[in-house]
């Protein structure tokens, strides 16, 4: 017997049962984004490899180790499955001159790909909802984006997601810090792991982002950027904090928060929960004022964040959330020739009235169909036999009302089924 083909490691199917939670999540997210005036943009999953190298930085985990890159066999072009959405969004912004006339608030969602070691909450294909703004330079938008997160957690019924905040200053300020970092880590060259040694002179800030437990003590003692920040950077950071304080949004300043991508300046933040184990960051982002220009566009201030959908859905499930999805209202049972001709029309007629119908497809007597109707969770069975069909009627049988199993059934005319059902729903609501 040949072996079943399995999904690629770290790339998961989202099965019914879980996928409903995703639907609810996505619906909530869409109306939340609208309430802040963000507009959708849909971007390709594959982009030219140099885009990510230039945007994320050559000396980062993502670019050095985690990208799914390949060469287009037809034209030799180096391509990569997007590991994140910001680079593609900025590419599209430049390509279509979106920010030429007015500032933009954009969002996207979809699969991202990183060749990481899979574990709970960390996958090789994962989903992000990303939010990006272009053309706003003040701390007000940074703060608004942070407060957006807080509102979404509330909308999703999640609590205990904590905010960490830091500033990465400006590139010139980081250059001074960099020299200090190199001098510091040089003293411990023999303790550094291979990655850290390689990055020491190319991108020492990345050492601060290392997850190697053996380096943590060294990282905690490393010199901080704070001493190199100028007054403008300080004022921007203070501006963000002021809005958060005014809004009553608690936060923790984490001077070690550096993010894993090179494009950030000034504000960076992460939303973290301790309920998901090691992969507790559910949402992260910050300001990236240099990126548009760096990718060939006109200098444009920018700020954004992305959330990990798998992690948030896991958190919703862990918090006991139930997807309040519309269920099935009617299971349509039919047997006999005349009945089976009438039944599809009845089903479509009910759907015209906004009633959700599961139509019995295939064979089966009344008894076995009724079992399926019971198991479907529908509130009603609409039962059509040839007798009913010839009389232009159906049998309407409530299956459950307010959790109680119901039994009384009644014959109703084809034209009044929808009204009968709606009225019953109203009665049940009042009861
Ligand atoms: P990031 O921190 O790399 O930032 O990813 C954002 C979020 O995506 C993480 O906080 C996490 O929830 C989720 N995530 C990342 N990697 C994985 C994975 N392997 N498995 C599951 N979830 C994951 C960015 O991607 C930036 N583009 C965010 C941004 C937008 N900054 C400015 N604008």
| Residues 309 and 340 occupy one common structural domain | no
Shared-domain flag, residues 260 and 390: no
Positions at the binding site for L-histidine: 84-86, 114, 128, 132, 259, 263-264
115 lines ligand 1 (CB under 6 A): no
- Ligand 1 probe mutation, 284, 290, 294, 303, most atoms within 8 A of CB: 284
User: Which alpha helices (DSSP H) does 106-215 contain, by range?
Assistant: 139-155, 171-186, 194-199
Domain assignment present for 6: no
Q: How many domains does the chain have?
A: 2
pLDDT tens digits for range 83-125: 999 999 999 999 999 999 899 999 999 999 999 999 999 999 9
Tell me if 208 is assigned to some domain: no
CATH number of the domain within which 301 lies? 3.30.930.10
Tokens of 25: 């999540």
If asked whether residues 298 and 353 sit together in one domain, one would say no
Q: Tell me what pLDDT residue 370 has.
A: 96
Q: Specify if 214 maps to a domain.
A: no
Comparing C-alpha atoms, which of 396, 403, 308, 389 is closest to residue 355? 396
Same domain, 406 and 268: no
From the number of C-beta atoms within 10 Å of its C-beta (0-12, 13-18, 19+), residue 160 rates as exposed
Supply the residue whose CA is at minimum distance from atom 11 of ligand 1. 308
Residues 389 and 288 grouped into a single domain: no
Residue 128 beta carbon below 6 angstroms from any ligand 1 atom = yes
What are the tokens at 62?
């993502």
- The verdict on residue 429 lying in a domain is no
C-beta of 290 in contact with ligand 1 (< 6 A): no
Whose C-alpha lies nearest to ligand 1, atom 21?
Answer: 122
| Residues 306, 311: Cα–Cα separation, whole Å | 12
Q: Please check whether residue 280 is in contact with residue 272, taking contact to mean a CB–CB distance below 8 angstroms.
A: yes
Of the residues 296, 318, 340, which one is the last residue of a structural domain? 318
Which ligand 1 atom is the nearest neighbour of the CA of 284?
10
Task: Tell me the CA distances in angstroms from 419 to 22, 140, 375, 383, one per residue in order.
Answer: 32, 52, 24, 16
Are 338 and 314 contained in the same domain?
Answer: no
Residues 413 and 354 in one domain: yes
Q: Which stretches in the chain have pLDDT values below 50?
A: none
Q: Residue 7 domain-assigned? A: no
Task: Report the pLDDT value the prediction gives residue 429, as an integer from 0 to 100.
Answer: 80
Domain ends where: 318, 343, 362?
Answer: 318
111 in any annotated domain: yes
**Which residue do the tokens 């869409």 mark?**
30
What pTM did the predictor assign? 0.92
Containing structural domain, residue 106: 18-169+229-318
The domain that contains 364 carries what CATH number? 3.40.50.800
Which pLDDT belongs to residue 431? 74
Q: Which residues pair with 48 in a beta bridge?
A: 79
Please work out whether the CB of residue 305 comes within 6 Å of at least one atom of ligand 1: yes
- Shared domain check, 335 and 310: no
* 81 lies in the same domain as 143: yes
The residue from 295, 318, 341 where one domain ends is: 318
């Amino acid at each position: 017997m040949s072996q079943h083909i399995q999904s690629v490691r770290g790339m998961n199917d989202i099965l019914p049962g879980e996928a409903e939670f995703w639907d609810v999540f996505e619906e909530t997210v869409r109306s939340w984004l609208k309430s802040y005036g963000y507009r959708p943009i849909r971007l390709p999953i594959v982009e030219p490899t140099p885009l990510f190298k230039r945007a994320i930085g050559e000396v980062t985990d993502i670019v050095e180790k985690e990208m799914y890159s390949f060469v287009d066999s037809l034209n030799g072009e180096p391509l990569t499955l997007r590991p994140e959405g910001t680079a593609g969004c900025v590419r599209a912004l430049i390509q279509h001159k979106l920010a030429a006339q007015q500032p933009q608030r954009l969002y996207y969602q979809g699969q991202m790909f990183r060749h990481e070691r899979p574990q709970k909450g960390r996958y090789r294909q994962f989903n992000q909802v990303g939010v990006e703004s272009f053309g706003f330079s003040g701390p007000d938008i940074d703060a608004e984006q942070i407060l957006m997160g807080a509102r979404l957690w509330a909308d999703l019924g999640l609590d205990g997601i904590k905010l960490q905040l830091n500033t990465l200053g400006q590139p010139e300020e980081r250059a001074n810090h960099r020299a200090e970092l190199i001098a510091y880590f040089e003293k411990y060259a023999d303790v550094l792991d291979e990655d850290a040694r390689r990055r020491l002179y190319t991108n020492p800030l990345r050492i601060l982002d290392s997850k190697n437990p053996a380096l943590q003590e060294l990282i905690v003692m490393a010199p901080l950027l704070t001493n190199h920040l100028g007054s403008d950077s300080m004022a921007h950071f203070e501006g963000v904090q002021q809005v958060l304080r005014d809004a009553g949004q608690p936060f923790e300043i984490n001077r070690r928060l550096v993010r894993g991508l090179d494009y950030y300046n000034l504000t960076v933040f992460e939303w973290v929960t301790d309920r998901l184990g090691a992969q507790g960051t559910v949402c992260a982002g910050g300001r990236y004022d240099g990126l548009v220009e760096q990718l060939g566009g006109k200098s444009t201030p920018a700020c954004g964040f992305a959330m990990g959908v798998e992690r948030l859905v896991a958190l919703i499930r862990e918090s006991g959330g139930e997807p309040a999805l519309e269920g099935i209202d009617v299971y349509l049972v039919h047997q006999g020739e005349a009945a089976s001709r009438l039944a599809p029309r009845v089903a479509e007629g009910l759907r015209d009235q906004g009633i959700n119908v599961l139509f019995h497809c295939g064979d089966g007597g009344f008894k076995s169909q009724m079992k399926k109707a019971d198991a479907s969770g529908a509130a009603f069975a609409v039962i059509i036999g040839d007798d009913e069909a010839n009389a232009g009627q159906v049998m309407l049988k409530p299956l459950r009302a307010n959790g109680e199993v119901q039994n009384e059934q009644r014959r109703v005319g084809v034209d009044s089924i929808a009204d009968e059902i709606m009225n019953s729903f109203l009665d049940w609501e009042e009861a």
